[in-house]
Amino acid sequence: MRLPLSIRTLVATVVLTIAAGCRDGFNAFGSGTRARTNADQLLGSLADRHTEVARNPKYEYARVRMMRGALAPSRVFDDSTVWTSLSTNVRVLETFGSLVDGRYLLAARPNPPAPSRPADGRHLTTLSRLNDGEYQWEAAVDFALGSVRPADVASLVTRILASGEGRTAPLLRAELASLSPHGSAALGTLFTLDSLHPVTLVDGSTITTLGASIHSENLRRRFPSFAEYVHRYLDPARYRFVLTDRAGTPFLEVSQKDRVIVIRLRTLRGRLVSLGGPARALPDSLQLHADFNVKVKIFRVGFHELVMDFVNAARGDDERTWTVTARKEPRWDLPFITARLLRAPLRRPFTGEGSSFSIGVRAGESGGPTLLRRHSRLPVQESAILNFLNSLSGTAMDDFGSTVQKEENAWLRELFVGVRDDARAAIALP
């Protein structure tokens, strides 16, 4: 299901953080020919994924049907045209994505191969019927990043987070201007970097605060449909995410209100540490606290006080995985007209194993490319209230029509190509 805000636009927000620490970010690839190849393939695969997208008829039909039935799965479960495989209580859609003749082709097909080239992607979407009116969605995606190692990706994340150490705000801005001109120019069509403040504390740790504002109006000249979508859904969005340990000590804060995004973190010797008090090392098991609210039609919908388990796992240098699991129902922000509707179905995604989302990087097998892997699980119990929410979600899906998608992909391709070109220039060759 696509949220009333393209998730790929949020990816661009993350790239804004990368750009803020561009020297350390690019240094994570190392130096020389291997580093240049790794950066080219990693960033090039992301750019290729957003080249003009084409879909075969089966996948186009299936994705629209699944989006419209995300919270009402019975509408799509018995439509055999959607699926590549069917059994009594399980439906499967298999899809393969690859760059073909200058377009990124997504094709639904049985038994797609494992990704073998950068930007190849294998998608597996499963819908299981658990009981009458109860279903479970699962999605698994493997996306090829090329030769970059998982340890290099982990180093990239670490260096980005710690980019404020030993630097002043003017120095960071100067690095951004000199080392990332193309990525900065692409980001500047939607975001403005308003503030960037690293503050060194007496214990040697650094608190870095980044403030950026969203300017959808800047997109209108070249991407008018995408600009309107961002204005309608991203501009009024309000959210706050706080990563804490089990005792509630915060380590990272990300928020947006009134089109202003704020990110706060603290690092010590290249590692994320607690925001307040003595510098505590980041544990592997944490909690993610989330509030989220967005406007759809005339309604504001969302949730607050959602607490999820967050696990950072590693398997040597071959795999890094970050998993979020929700097992406790949040407090809902819903229109007054839903007050009479049964709320029990809203608890279903949080019972038993709960709902989960994981993203990670795993080294390729038998000479294959490193894979960006993501997996999600969402149980659903159909009800009147979910039908109402499904209708709101459907409105956002309809608004995200072919023209918006095309313009968003064009904007993101420019962004990743720009960052790739900056990396090429910054990585020294022997």
Cβ proximity of 75 and 1 under 8 Å: no
Q: Which of 107-121, 153-167, 310-324, 404-418 has the lowest mean pLDDT?
A: 153-167
Percent of the chain with pLDDT over 70: 90
Domain that holds residue 231: 7-426
Looking at residue 241, its pLDDT comes to 95
Nearest CA to 205 out of 270, 264, 154, 158 is that of 270
Of residues 289 and 29, more confidence is placed in 289
Instruction: Evaluate if residue 13 carries a pLDDT over 60.
Output: no
CA diameter of the chain: 70
Q: Which two tokens stand for residue 266?
A: 């603290």
Looking at residue 3, its pLDDT comes to 42
Cα distance between residue 141 and residue 148, in whole Å: 18
Looking at residue 1, its pLDDT comes to 36
Instruction: Evaluate if residue 5 carries a pLDDT over 50.
Output: no
Cβ proximity of 246 and 287 under 8 Å: yes
In a domain, 39, yes or no: yes
221 exposed, middle or buried (CB, 10 Å; 0-12, 13-18, 19+)? exposed
Mean pLDDT of the chain: 89
Instruction: Evaluate if residue 350 carries a pLDDT over 80.
Output: yes
CA-CA-CA-CA torsion sign (335, 337, 340, 342): negative
- C-beta atoms surrounding 121 within 10 Å: 20
Looking at residue 7, its pLDDT comes to 44
Mean pLDDT of 267-296: 94
Backbone phi and psi for residue 291, each to the nearest 5 degrees, phi listed first: -125, 140
DSSP for 288-321 reads EEEEEEEEETTEEEEEEEEEEEEEEEEETTTEEE
In a domain, 349, yes or no: yes
In a domain, 1, yes or no: no
How many structural domains comprise the chain?
1
Query: What is the distance, to the nearest Å, from the Cα of residue 338 to the centroid of all Cα atoms in its chain?
Result: 30
Cβ proximity of 190 and 410 under 8 Å: no
Looking at residue 2, its pLDDT comes to 44
pTM for this prediction = 0.92
Q: Which residues of 40-69 are buried (b: 16+ CB within 10 A; e: fewer)?
A: bbbbbbbbbbbbeeebeebbeebbeebbbb
Three-state DSSP class for residue 380: strand
Range ranked top by mean pLDDT from 31-35, 47-51, 315-319: 47-51
- 51 pLDDT tier (thresholds 50, 70, 90): very high
Q: Are strands 260-268 and 271-273 parallel, antiparallel or unpaired?
A: antiparallel
pLDDT digits (tens, 9 = 90+) for 213-261: 999 999 999 999 999 999 988 899 999 999 999 999 999 999 999 999 9
Looking at residue 430, its pLDDT comes to 63
Q: Which residues of 326-357 are buried (b: 16+ CB within 10 A; e: fewer)?
A: beebbebbbeeebeebeeebbebbbeeebbbb
Cα distance between residue 300 and residue 311, in whole Å: 31
Total count of residues recorded for the chain: 430
Residue carrying structure tokens 């094709």: 107
Q: Which of 26-35, 161-170, 280-289, 383-392 has the lowest mean pLDDT?
A: 383-392
Looking at residue 342, its pLDDT comes to 54
Instruction: Evaluate if residue 311 carries a pLDDT over 50.
Output: yes
Q: Describe the crossing of helices 7-20 and 169-179 by its angle, rounded to 10 degrees.
A: 110
pLDDT digits (tens, 9 = 90+) for 379-418: 999 887 888 777 777 666 666 777 898 999 999 999 999 9
pLDDT digits (tens, 9 = 90+) for 170-221: 988 888 888 888 988 888 899 998 998 999 999 999 999 999 999 999 999 9
Instruction: Evaluate if residue 20 carries a pLDDT over 90.
Output: no
Cα distance between residue 29 and residue 406, in whole Å: 31
In a domain, 2, yes or no: no
Looking at residue 329, its pLDDT comes to 93
In a domain, 316, yes or no: yes
Strand partners, 94: 124
Looking at residue 337, its pLDDT comes to 61
Strands (E), 101-190: 103-108, 121-131, 134-146
Cβ proximity of 277 and 248 under 8 Å: no
Cα distance between residue 80 and residue 267, in whole Å: 52
pLDDT digits (tens, 9 = 90+) for 86-130: 999 999 999 999 999 999 999 999 999 999 999 999 999 999 999
Cα distance between residue 151 and residue 318, in whole Å: 7
**Rounded to a whole number, what is the distance in angstroms from the first to the last CA of the chain?**
47
pLDDT digits (tens, 9 = 90+) for 54-96: 999 999 999 999 988 988 999 999 999 999 999 999 999 999 9
